[in-house]
Structure 1
Amino acid sequence: MRKLFRLLPLLLAATMLTACDQNQVYEKNVDFEGYTWSVRQKPAFTFDIADTTQRYDVYFNVRNASAYGYYNLYLKHTLTDPAGKPVSQLLHQMLLMDPQTGEPRGSGTGDIYDHQFLALPNQKFHQTGAYKIVLEQYMRQNQLPGLMAVGVRVVQARPAQAK
């Protein structure tokens, strides 16, 4: 039993090191108080781009409870460059549950589900510096109960494989 306790820190450290994504540039999530996303809340995420020769994939993270009343989520993003100029603005529909069966999508345990949606694939950033992305819920309801958190993840895009 003592040997197991001595090995436990090594196993945890090894797991953490292998779980790190070498291509990840940025990831941050914002929790909503009371597990409700108000239309007035517009989470903003700022990330640095140092290499303009790379292409990047931008993901949106969503965490919801099974009590969320819709199968989808409309979300609008606004991406601005280091000078504050808009780079892109787009409305996204994300399917959190299967529209026919109502079965939750994403990964989760119990009644909490995590989703990661590829929102901006193969994004090219033309200058180095701090980019800002603002997320807005775009549903027809001022308060969206059951939404627990949203976030942004930026990774270097993997090169396309030759066919």
Structure 2
Amino acid sequence: MSCDKKREYDEYKTIPNSTWHKENEVAFTFSITDTVQRKNVFINLRNNKSYPFSNLFVITEMKFPDGNKVIDTLEYDMADVTGKFLGTGFTDIKENKLFYKEHILFPTSGDYSFKIRQAMRKNGDVNGVETLDGITDVGLRIEKIQ
């Protein structure tokens, strides 16, 4: 059994039927006690071959113990220019470890919440994609920088 010394928090939530509805926020809650050591925060995604896009737009919300929030709109590449999915894995499921925040200090100790939702839209469509196929799991990982 390997020891993951960098991991401070690591959790996945399964997306029912691998179909991520645009109203379905995936939520995580974690506690921070160390406000001195810098950390990297990752969004972990697992997708299967039915994922229809080469990129992914998400909207994230980090809520701090004092009630302040940081909201970001982020884009990640999910496939290369030839259409081959990025990520690791030998099966039809690919795992993607995507940077969310690098070398950050959490300013206060306490309970934080993190929410993420998909924000994909087809070209020329203002309303966005109601259901996004092919995302099997969404995760959040926090690592200590050593």
* Per-residue deviation, 1:59: 0.2
List, as ranges, runs of 4+ consecutive aligned residues in structure 1 with deviation greater than 3 Å.
none
State the partner residue of 2:20. 37
Say yes or no: does 1:135 pair with 2:111: no
Which one of 92, 100, 103 corresponds to residue 122 of structure 1? 103
SS of the aligned residue for 2:17 comes to helix
**1:144 aligned to 132, 135, 140, which one?**
132
State the TM-score, normalized to the length of structure 2: 0.91
Matched residue, 1:112: 93
2:41 equivalent among 58, 71, 84: 58
Corresponding residue for 2:125?
A: none
Paired position in structure 2 for 1:81 = 64
Name the residue aligned to 1:155: 143
- Residue 27 of structure 1 pairs with residue 49 of structure 2: no
CA distance, structure 1, for counterparts of residue 30 and residue 62 of structure 2: 11
Higher relative contact order (CA 8 A, sep 6+): 2
Q: CA deviation at 1:79?
A: 0.6
Amino acid in the other structure paired with 2:92: D
Shift of 1:157: 2.1
Residues in 2 aligned to 1:20 and 1:146: alpha-carbon distance in whole angstroms: 31
Taking the aligned partners of 1:136 and 1:20, their CA distance within structure 2 comes to 31
Deviation at 1:156, TM superposition (A): 1.1
Structure 2 gaps of 5+ residues are: 122-128
Q: Distance in 1 between matches of 2:40 and 2:55?
A: 22
Aligned length: 139
What percent identity do the matched residue pairs reach?
A: 30
| Pick aligned residue for 2:77 from 80, 95, 98 | 95
Shift of 1:64: 0.4
Q: CA deviation at 1:44?
A: 0.9
Which blocks of at least 5 consecutive residues in structure 1 are unaligned? 1-15, 159-163
Tell me the distance in 2 between the aligned counterparts of 1:34 and 1:139: 18
Bigger-Rg structure (1/2)? 1
Q: TM-score, normalised by structure 1?
A: 0.82
Amino acid at match of 1:131: Y
